[in-house]
Structure 1
Amino acid sequence: MNVGSPLLSDGKLPVFLFPTSLSFFEDDQSSHKQVLTIYNPYEFALRFRVLSTAPSKYLVADSEGTIKPQCCIDIVIRHTAINSANYSVTDKFRVQVYEHSGSRQIIGKRDVPSTLLPGMQEERERHISDLDQFEQLPRSQVTRHQASAQYRLSDRHDRREGGHETSTSTSSIMVIMVGVLCVLALMLPLVGDQASSWPDYLHISIHQKLISAYVLGLITVVLLRPT
């Protein structure tokens, strides 16, 4: 894909995020700081900006910047208004992406709801059941320097400090196999690529590549999750 493709010019570039919603719990101090990961599965750099409907209630490290091609970046979001007046109030973060060329035209955007909950066990279970289609990022004490670090989506090296290796299970082998298939899919040529010497049945569409990149990103997060 090149920068002049219709996918860019029509302002509907898909924006990939994880998690898709944020939950803060009053009685769990470690949850007052969350990590939002923004993925760039494309072959060109993107600029991003994070906005909020309630900016006075949050501190966001590196709310704008650049994501290199086929990389992702962790954005640390801290809730600074933990009080009963904000219980069950849903705010929204909006991630906007732009072309790296400096254009101010928004080529993609996505909203992430953010809710503060009292933290009572029954309230937590009710909220999780309502949002059971979402997966929450692991809690992490991420410094500002660490939040700015980017890493390639295909990088499977262990980035945990002081961690220990766990035994390989059947499920982890399956995850790795799916990841390998996604990497292979990203290496295949696009449909209509006349310069490719690969057989036509091995050519895949841009949407299939986007899905492969997104799944690979999720697998990366799982493999790098602290224990």
Structure 2
Amino acid sequence: MQRQSPDLVEGRLPVFVFPTELVFYADTQASHKQVLTLYNPYEFALKFKVMCTAPNKYAVVDATGAVRPQCCVDIVIRHRDVRACHYGVIDKFRLQVSEQSQRKALGRKDVMATLLPSAAQAPPQAPPQEEERRMKEQLADSVFFEQPAIQTESRAASGGPSLLTVLLGLVCMAALMLPTLGEQESTVPVYLHLSVNKKLVAAYVLGLLTMVILRT
């Protein structure tokens, strides 16, 4: 029996993205590449689009795509204009999601991006209330442009991830493939059915492991 997605109002679908802020450091080459992980904990597939207020400063791999139900995708973002004139400038990325068969946006998530001269000059974290107020003010007048997709860059061969990392990743993938708690007509035993919260944790851990693997 085919599942049907719920009747959702435009813009009301929660979007799960990690991390919620990108910080690039001019003196640290490794930080010029960041990874955003988009999670889909729902029972239906999502398509996504990445937009940015300063698309000429960044290169985004797979700026558009789809996420299968209860899976996640990694979006690689590179800062390609590291200059002193951009220090402290706050840019914004917007991840907009919708159903594959629909055009209207069901949800969106804004992620701030900042270039700093050095990791030693990173400002202290502001209190949550003050940070939320500041983000709302900065995002109020932002204009977002569609981010053009580019081809995935080939990476030099390295030592690769550790065996523990690979095994943990396989465990998380297996957990995401198990039936959801309450799902009917499944041949898998009931004690192997996982709740949505557990699958979200597995997707979160898998996203972190993917970041580690991409940076090796």
Rounded to whole Å, the distance in 2 between the matches of 1:182 and 1:47 is 22
* 1:58–1:165 distance in 2 versus 1, CA, 3 Å: closer
Alignment partner, residue 133 of structure 2: none
Q: In the superposition, relative to structure 1, how do residues 8 and 223 fare at CA in structure 2: closer, same or farther (>3 Å)?
A: farther
May I ask how many residue pairs the two structures share in their alignment?
Answer: 190
Give deviations 1:119-173, integer Å, cap 9, x for gaps.
Answer: 3xxxx22417649xxxxxxxxxxx93216xxxxxxxxxxx95432358x5xxx52
Aligned residue number for residue 172 of structure 2: 182
* DSSP-derived class of the 2:65 partner: strand
CA distance in 2, matches of 1:212, 1:99: 23
Question: RMSD of the alignment, in Å?
Answer: 3.7
Q: Does 1:216 align with 2:206?
A: yes
SS of 2:152's equivalent in the other structure is: helix
TM-score (norm 2): 0.66
Unpaired segments of 5 or more residues in structure 2? 127-148
Which runs of 5 or more structure 1 residues have no equivalent in the other structure? Answer: 132-142, 148-158
Counterpart Cα distance in 1 of 2:194 and 2:7 = 18
Identity of aligned residues (%): 31
Q: How far apart, CA to CA, are the structure 2 residues paired with 1:44 and 1:218?
A: 23
Structure 2 CA distance for aligned equivalents of residues 198 and 9 of structure 1: 35
* Partner SS for 2:186: coil
Contact 1:87-1:116 within 8 A present in 2 as well: yes
Alpha-carbon offset, residue 109 of structure 1:
1.9
Cα deviation per residue 1:61-84 (whole Å; 9 max; x = unaligned)? 467421252452434343537234
Q: In the alignment, does 2:147 pair up with 1:144? A: no
Match of 1:51 in 2: 51
AA in 1 matched with 2:177 = M
User: Matched residues in 1 for 2:104 and 2:72: separation?
Assistant: 22
